[in-house]
Amino acid sequence: MVRAPCCEKMGLKKGPWTPEEDQILISYILKYGHGNWRALPKLAGLLRCGKSCRLRWTNYLRPDIKRGNFTKEEEDTIINLHEMLGNRWSAIAARLPGRTDNEIKNVWHTYLKKRLKQNQPTPDTKTQLSSQTSKCDDEPMSNPTSNVMRIENQGHAPVVLSPQQSSSDFTDSSAVTSENLNMDSSATFPVIDESLWSDIDILSSAETSGMPENNLAMAVDQELQFLFSPDPATLESVCGFGLNTNEEMDFWYDLFMKAGESEF
DNA sequence: AAGTTTCACAACCGCCTAGGC
DNA sequence: GGCCTAGGCGGTTGTGAAACT
């Protein structure tokens, strides 16, 4: 892919924004909106690239942004969500109204990570928990095997998201706090690996391409056994908490029917 | 008081993906 | 189907302020 020339080469300004630039950007967006970020700076009369304008707006100028220190509740929420989601800052930000992914990321790196380290268990207890901790501090602590854990919490039970869904799909839900998460922060959930969805895509296309039902059932069976190992009870618990939408319910129901319900 | 280090956060960079053509 | 672009995301850097020596 051919990259657009950087701002400086285009004679565009970089670095901190001035109050005048802010004012121009705000008044333009309030008047005309931001349909096309690339065209916006030109139309607004700013010597900035569209990307810079977008970042300035989304991270700083947006009227719904909450400025000021994070409350204890917000910090706990970030910690809980980070434990579940890892470094998916935008997903975390979607659950904290008025906070941006950039702000949350900064708070995490400068403060919360250290706070967590201070509260970290002693080496003994650490050994016991070793199966739940990852090599990297920034990786989800309850996610020992997968690259990305696609489990999100929608009020009560965690939701397993398909790749077509994002946390922003749930922005209508109220802000998540450690209280209304309604969960034990030490609770761990079976991990859904990102590869699950691609595997299921493959199986789905096999289905539509007319793979014999028995073969398909076996393939799905094996896939699920593998993905949800170590034991079928784990899978059962996955079904129990993961199916919060009718679509998901139907999807998994179909899948399990084909795989042979008795197995689970 | 001056120099150095650490902290906090805004901004940038580069990669990825969806969607249009 | 392949190319291109815009927008989104996470990682990293730059810089001013605060704290420390």
Cβ count near A35 (within 10 Å): 8
Q: Which two tokens stand for residue A239?
A: 């079904």
Half-sphere exposure of A25 (CA within 13 A, CB side): 25
Q: CA A110, C1' B9: Å apart? A: 9
A50 touches strand C (CB under 7 A): yes
A6 touches strand B (CB under 7 A): yes
Superfamily of domain A72-119+131-170: Homeodomain-like (1.10.10.60)
Say yes or no to pLDDT of A252 above 50.
no
Q: CA A110, C1' B1: Å apart? A: 30
Q: Which two tokens stand for residue A88?
A: 């998916």
Give the lowest-confidence range in A48-52, A184-188, A218-222: A184-188
CA neighbor of A196 nearest in space, from A204, A184, A188, A206 = A204
Residue A118: pLDDT band (50, 70, 90) is low
Supply the pLDDT for residue A235.
35
Q: CA A31, C1' B11: Å apart? A: 25
How large is the C-alpha radius of gyration of chain A? 23
Supply the pLDDT for residue A120.
59
Half-sphere exposure of A115 (CA within 13 A, CB side): 11
Q: CA A133, C1' C21: Å apart? A: 38
A4 touches strand B (CB under 7 A): no
Residue with minimal CA–C1' distance to C8 is A90
- What integer is the mean pLDDT of A134-146? 37
Supply the pLDDT for residue A58.
86
Higher-confidence residue of A236 and A89: namely: A89
Say yes or no to pLDDT of A122 above 70.
no
Q: Which nucleotide is nearest to A22 (CA to C1')?
A: B10
Say yes or no to pLDDT of A165 above 80.
no
Half-sphere exposure of A11 (CA within 13 A, CB side): 2
Q: Are A85 and A91 in contact (CB under 8 A)?
A: yes
DSSP label at residue A59: I
> Which helix (H) or strand (E) segment is A152 a member of?
strand A151-153
Residue with minimal CA–C1' distance to B6 is A110
Q: pLDDT exceeding 70 applies to what percent of chain A?
A: 40
Q: Is the dihedral of CA A61, A64, A67, A73 positive or negative?
A: negative
Say yes or no to pLDDT of A93 above 80.
yes
> pTM of the entire structure?
0.54
Q: Are A69 and A75 in contact (CB under 8 A)?
A: no
Q: CA A1, C1' B18: Å apart? A: 15
Supply the pLDDT for residue A117.
66
Supply the pLDDT for residue A43.
87
Looking at strand C, which nucleotides approach a protein CB closer than 7 A? 4-12, 15
Residue A71: pLDDT band (50, 70, 90) is confident
Q: Are A67 and A100 in contact (CB under 8 A)?
A: no
Residues 68-97 of A with CB under 7 A from strand C: 87-91
- What integer is the mean pLDDT of A238-259? 40
